[in-house]
C-alpha cells in the first residue's frame, strides 16, 4: 500500500471532506488500486518533453476594459443559502 490512511486523511482535509472509519478503509483501498494503475506513467520517458496544459495553441485572448452590466443584488443573492442586509452570510471564521 503506497497510500496510507494517514495520506487519505490529509487529502480529505485538503478536500474539505470527512468520512467514517469504514468509508476511510474502502477509500484507501480504492485509492491504492487507482494509483497503482496510474503508476504506469512512471514508465514513460518524458525527458525533454514539454507539459501540455492547453491543447489549443491560443494566446493573448483578451477583452477591452469596458464596464458591462452587473447582476441586481437580488439576482446575485438569489441562490444564497443565507443572507442578511444584502450580504452573503456565513458562520464564524476560525483560522485553522
For another protein, which is the closer residue by CB, 1 or 11? 11
Question: Using CB under 8 A, which residues numbered 8 to 67 contact another protein?
Answer: 8, 10-12, 14-19, 27, 30-31, 33-35, 37-42, 44, 46, 49-56, 58-67
For another protein, which is the closer residue by CB, 21 or 53? 53
**Measured CA angle at 61 (ends 58, 67), to 5 deg:** 165
Distance between CA 42 and CA 32 in Å, rounded? Answer: 16
Shortest distance (Å) from residue 61 CB to another protein: 4
Question: Using CB under 8 A, which residues numbered 73 to 92 contact another protein?
Answer: 73, 75-82, 84-92
List the beta bridge partners of residue 13: none
Q: How far is CA 60 from CA 55, 57, 63, 87, in A?
A: 15, 10, 10, 35
Amino acid at each position: 500500500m503506497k497510500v496510507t490512511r494517514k495520506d487519505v486523511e490529509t487529502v480529505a482535509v485538503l478536500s474539505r471532506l470527512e468520512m467514517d472509519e469504514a468509508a476511510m478503509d474502502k477509500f484507501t483501498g480504492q485509492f491504492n488500486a487507482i494509483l497503482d494503475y496510474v503508476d504506469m506513467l512512471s514508465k514513460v520517458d518524458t525527458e525533454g518533453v514539454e507539459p501540455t496544459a492547453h491543447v489549443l495553441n491560443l494566446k493573448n485572448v483578451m477583452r477591452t476594459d469596458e464596464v458591462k452590466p452587473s447582476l441586481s443584488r437580488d439576482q446575485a443573492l438569489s441562490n444564497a443559502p443565507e443572507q442578511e442586509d444584502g450580504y452573503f452570510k456565513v458562520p464564524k471564521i476560525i483560522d485553522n
